[in-house]
Each structure stands twice: as C-alpha cells, then as structure tokens.
Structure 1
Amino acid sequence: MARILLIVALLAVAFWIYSIADCALQSPARHRGVGKPTWMLIVIALPVIGGILWFAIGRTRPKAAPVFRAPDDNPEFLGGIGTISDQDERIRRLEEELAALDAEDDDPRWHPPAHGGTDDTDEPNGQRGTRS
C-alpha cells in the first residue's frame, strides 16, 4: 500500500510541476478567465486541483492557422500585392533601366571585332584549327 501511495504522490508532484511550468510559459493571450498571475497563484496554491482547473478551464487551445492552397486564397498575400499605381511605378523604373542599358549599347567607344564581326570558328569552345 505504501508503494502505491508513493507512486501516486510522485505522479501528483510531477503533474503539479508540469502545470506550473505550462501556466508560466503560456502567453498571456492564451489564459482564459482571469489573468496570468492569478492562474499562477491558483496552480501553486492548489497543487493537483489547481492544475486540473488550469487544463480544464484556464488554458485555451492555439488557433490553427488557415491553410491556403494557392496564393490568391490568402487575403494577406492579396493585400500585399500593391495597387496599380505601384505596378505602374515599377514598370516605369524598369523602362528607365532598359533605356539606360540601350544607351550603353549605342556607346561610340565600342568598336566591332577586328575580323569583321563574324566568328568563323568551327569548334564549340571557339578554338581554331583543332579538328583533325
């Protein structure tokens, strides 16, 4: 009989410690009813009963995040896309960058290759006369 009481006492102490740790580590937003300090006091003052009350009444379940199958199902994604004026601004900047790149291509300092601008190599790596 003493062994059974010892095992029950050890289980009660383990449950009590787990209840205290769980109550202390939960964010205040997940405490139902009263505030976090009050729940801590209840769990510490009433060892087993306070833990049972904490798990039955005081603790809320975490809210499951909604599962989206595609980006257009997610309202946050849709809200973050931006307005048409943002897209127009981005297109305008890209066009300016392309115009600047085109202006670099028209640079008069650029000279055509000395051999007439055509590559008369037969080899894939640009090596001449290596075929037998």
Structure 2
Amino acid sequence: MGRYLPIVIVALLTIYCVVEVAQAQPFAVRRMPRWLWATFIICVPLIGAVCWLLFGRPTAESRGDRTGRGHPKAPDDDVDFLRGL
C-alpha cells in the first residue's frame, strides 16, 4: 500500500488542479491561457500541478477583488457609516 500512496497523491493533485483550471475565470489566470495550463497539468502531472499552484492560480489581485484592502468588511467596522447613524 505504501508504494501506491505517491501515485494516488499525484493523481488527486492533478485532478484538483485540472478542476481548478476549468473553474477559473479566463481573465484572472496568470502567465498562460487556461487551455495551455490544463494541457501542461495533464501532460506533466506533478510539475504542471505545482507550477499551476505557484504561478498560474488566480490571486485576489488578478481577479480584481479588493476586499480587505482598505475597505471595511462589515458596516459596523466602517467609521463613516457609524458616524452617520
């Protein structure tokens, strides 16, 4: 069983990364287009998956998400909102 564990881990990591590539928004993926990332992950499973996680995966900045950057998360955290009550 122990010798099959690395193969199972690589297979699960590959499946996870392919699903994540398929669900990623096209404009948010970094470095390469989505179809090229999917091909790379499938053809070179371990290296492709690790490269996707490090270099291609969308970040909050690439998605255009600004939550947590100077904006309050809830109305009661916003000083201007509380001042207007």
**TM-score when scaled to structure 2?**
0.71
C-alpha distance in 2 between matches for 1:28 and 1:38: 12
User: 1:4 pairs with 2, 5, 13, which one?
Assistant: 2
What code does the residue aligned with 2:53 have?
A: F
CA contact (8 A) 2:41 2:49 kept: yes
Q: Which has the larger radius of gyration?
A: 1
Structure 1 position 35 matched with structure 2 position 37: no
What code does the residue aligned with 1:29 have?
A: F
C-alpha distance in 1 between matches for 2:3 and 2:28: 34
**TM-score when scaled to structure 1?**
0.48
| Counterpart residue number, 1:14 | 12
Cα deviations by residue, 1:62-86 (Å, 9 ceiling, x for unpaired): 2342423135xxxxxxxxxxxxxxx
Cα deviations by residue, 1:98-127 (Å, 9 ceiling, x for unpaired): xxxxxxxxxxxxxxxxxxxxxxxxxxxxxx
What code does the residue aligned with 1:4 have?
A: G
| Structure 1 residues without counterparts, runs of 5 or longer | 72-132
| Structure 2 residues without counterparts, runs of 5 or longer | 73-77
Identity %: 19
Structure 1 outlier segments of 4+, above 3 Å: none
Structure with the bigger RCO (C-alpha within 8 Å, sep 6+) is 2
What code does the residue aligned with 2:7 have?
A: A
CA shift at 1:34, angstroms?
Answer: 1.3
C-alpha distance in 2 between matches for 1:50 and 1:61: 18
C-alpha distance in 2 between matches for 1:48 and 1:37: 17
